[in-house]
Chains A and B, each alone.
Chain A
Amino acid sequence: MQIQVKCSCGAEKCPEWAIIELQGVVELQPSFQDSFQNLQIGQLCRPSSQENFTFTIGYHELTGTKVALKKPMLVLKKIKYMDVDRSDGGGHDGASSSSTELDVVGVIRHKILFKTRPKALISVKEKPNGADAVARKQSE
């Protein structure tokens, strides 16, 4: 069986994706478990001209940097095709014919990595709401 690795976007136009990486887990408040699409997680800021970043989730603040990956990563999408009609001949079993392809949809060369312990912020505007980072829906 052979799975072709394709790049339908074209080698030169392969779009760049990004990764935000942090230690730990972002948890949703139970009331938001089913409606998190478009939900805001937090604000990522670059305070100065250095490649340092802060990521504020709820009332926690993480600090991190943008790092170049030691080795690039490709984002591959697995695509399954169902072949309607296939006559194979040569005695190979003509059992169900589905073929799979891998398509390169992106390349990742950098990530924004947060390695620090979250710093708890107490903001005059927010009421602290438990120990977990809280995802809040932005209202217009």
Chain B
Amino acid sequence: MMEQPQSCCKGAEVLLNLQPSSSVTIQYHPHFGPHDDLILLELDEKFLPDVLYQRVTLRGQPDEDAVLCTKSKTYSVKFVGTSNSVFLVPPADYSTLHENQQDCDGENYKQKVSASIIKVAPGNMELVEVAPRIDKLKLILSENLYGSDEALAMEDLEFTERSRKRLHKWDDLINEVQASDDELKTGLQALSAVEIDGYWRIVDEKYMDVILRMLLHNSVLNDWSLNALIEEKVVSVLESDGFPCKLAYHCLNVYGSRVEETMDGGVWMLDARRVCVHFARRILREGKRKFESFMEEWLRMIPEEMQPSFDMLEGEVLTEKLGVETWVHALSVSSLPSTPAERFSILFKERSKWEWKDLEPYIRDLNVPGLSSEALLLKYTRKSQPRIDAEPVFSAR
């Protein structure tokens, strides 16, 4: 019985504000039904603003599991069923887009305090934070590396039109890669990708080598310090040598960092590690080399100002003993899958037993939300210690 007139007589409102000593009739909504297009999503309070202010999207191809992306994180969307009866009660004015609303004003409902159920929910969706599925980015950008022939053919419109069909703009990447905007940007940075004419490209390593060596050659000729390269000078010299302006800047970005911004432009410093790694990879591109031979050639190639050391190459190069000789070959962590199971599988194919100091650089970048690096090791490796005084080794589970 109604004690006092209520300002609303129906819907969720009356249910949630039910006063002491009062009751409400529960009934099926006029439009009760399966309503498969109504979905419940459970999420942390902290996400509510992002969702309500329209800052989240669902991303993925039809054949992939959907992920929900905020600006900076990626979440897998999982359905959790329930065996309970979960009755969904909408607010009084809820319309299911059907034209005829029979509601509070209808004859039958004048005095009745009621709440109607629109649907019985089979469960709800929930979010689980996941690592971005970023391996696909490298795959699709590697289909069409930007090389010297394309740089030369820039004026050839037909060439560029044809090849553009397999190129990707930012909006294309968002549609194809299941990652948030921020994670996508980080991924592009990690690949040293560059945006040329609106398309994101990975530059062919051989072409980067040509540009870098031209930059170093000019530094020697003009007596430039590699710690204080003047942006304008570098770019104009490279341009006059036939390299696109964009690529000159890209070279500075890949191998150095801007240390100063002056009135006349930027001042850059080359990063010794990045330059040394580049030359190491170049030498080992054709295959493994004997340690001494490698070191000799490597030291020759590196600019005089730089002090190379072998541990600069951790995560890039591995050594192995064949008989009495030590050989080196390239294995770059950047070429390995980002998912832990696949990463460890490849690492253990490479080598069945790893010491921590060798293994660490190859798993340092693994990111699995909710799993620490210790937990990762526990999950994917078996640790053994041959003797008390020996280093522990990790092998496959």
Contacts and interface: CB of A to CB of B under 8 A. Distances in A.
B293 interface: no
B115 A18 contact: yes
Nearest to A91: B165
B21 A48 contact: yes
Interface in B107-162: 108, 114-117, 121, 124
Contacts of B51: 5, 7, 74, 104
Given A46-B19, A77-B38, A91-B165, A38 B90 contact: no
Given A24-B85, A40-B27, A75-B88, A5 B57 contact: yes
A17 B175 contact: no
Given A46-B18, A49-B20, A37 B29 contact: yes
Contacts of A60: none
Contacts of B296: none
Contacts of A76: 38-41
User: Quick one: which of B66, B93, B124 has the most chain A CB within 10 A?
Assistant: B124
Contact of A55 (B26, B41, B166): B26
Contacts, number: 190
User: Quick one: which of B13, B41, B116 has the most chain A CB within 10 A?
Assistant: B41
Interface residues of A, number: 62
Given A37-B28, A39-B28, A19 B85 contact: no
A2 B26 contact: no
Contacts of B37: 77-79
Contacts of A2: 57-59, 174-175
A140 B106 CA distance: 13
Interface in B1-42: 12-13, 15-16, 18-32, 36-42
A40 B25 contact: yes
A112 interface: yes
Given A71-B43, A90-B165, A108-B40, A45 B60 contact: no
B25 A73 contact: no
B26 A40 contact: yes
A94 interface: no
Interface string A53-86: 1010000000000100101111111110000000
Contact of B84 (A1, A22, A102, A108): A22
User: Quick one: which of A69, A71, A108 has the most chain B CB within 10 A?
Assistant: A71
A11 B40 contact: no
Contacts of A39: 27-28
B91 A107 contact: no
A90 B172 contact: yes
Q: Which 10 A-B pairs have the closest CB atoms?
A: A91-B165, A11-B52, A45-B23, A18-B12, A3-B58, A18-B89, A20-B87, A78-B37, A49-B20, A15-B91
Interface of A: 1-7, 11, 14-26, 36-49, 53, 55, 66, 69, 71-79, 90-92, 102, 104-108, 110-112, 138, 140
